Structure 1
Amino acid sequence: MKKLYLDDLRLIPEGFIGVRSFAEFVNYIETNGLPDFISFDHDLGLQENGFDCAKWLVNHCLDHKVKLSDFAVHSQNPVGKKNIESLLNNFRKQF
């Protein structure tokens, strides 16, 4: 089972592949395909954030006609966490 962990600061948990930015997130998926599970952080420094990654992921799934990976949001940002969860859960309900 491939598990991806998106976070710019935290230690990558054992058993996960870590990516630290939007660019690394996109590059990993374009190179390796969708993982089975993704754990999202929202705040990724000064550039794009975890919500941007989630939006890109939805478009990737639509463009490639693939099922959304299982996911969790481990962010401590309550608004960012809710936004990511809402986007991905709503997308999952429709597709």
Structure 2
Amino acid sequence: MKYKLFLDDIRDVNMVYKKLTNDDFVVVRNFDDFKKVIIEKGLPELISFDNDLGLDENDQIAEDGYACAKWLVYESGLDLRNLKFNVHSANPVASQQIQGLLDNYIKHLRANN
């Protein structure tokens, strides 16, 4: 099933992509829903990452977009060679972490296959 995934705790799609809406993506607000959707639907054709995902149900800092990227790389078991993604986080350090992790892993996969 083809779909696009938008990870952000607050923003809607049209706040990041002016010509798109929430109808163009499956919108998830936290780490658990990110994993659940990918496990149920498979790898999306595009993932748009926010990093800072607010607080969890215990008012603790929630697992972030970088944790989602790490789950994809280290735990999901999915073939990420053709993953397309964008990082729309306003957090520049975390944006670089997500971008670097995924870019380097995809580059590694492509070089070894």
* TM-score normalized by the length of structure 2: 0.77
Structure 1 Cα separation of the partners of residues 80 and 69 of structure 2: 14
Runs of 4+ aligned structure 1 residues displaced above 2 Å come to: none
Residues 1:91 and 2:105 are matched in the alignment: yes
Closer, same or farther: CA 2–60 of 1 in aligned 2, 3 Å = farther
Paired AA for residue 72 in structure 2 = L
Partner Cα distance (1:27, 1:67) in 2: 17
Unmatched tracts of structure 2, length 5 or more: 15-20, 55-60
Match of 1:47 among 56, 62, 65: 62
Superposed counterparts of 1:17-32, under 5 Å: 17-32=26-41
Q: Deviation at 1:23? A: 0.2
CA RMSD of aligned residues (A): 1.3
Percent same amino acid among aligned pairs? 45
Deviation at 1:16, TM superposition (A): 1.1
CA distance in 2, matches of 1:67, 1:93: 10
For structure 1, which runs of at least 5 residues remain unmatched after alignment?
none
TM-score (norm 1): 0.91
Counting matched residue pairs gives 93
Shift of 1:18: 0.2
Q: How does 1:8-87 map to 2 (within 5 A)?
A: 8-13=9-14, 14=21, 15-45=24-54, 46-60=61-75, 63-64=77-78, 66-68=79-81, 69-87=83-101
Deviations 1:44-82 (A, max 9, x none): 012100000000011245x24x13420000000000100
Deviation at 1:12, TM superposition (A): 3.0
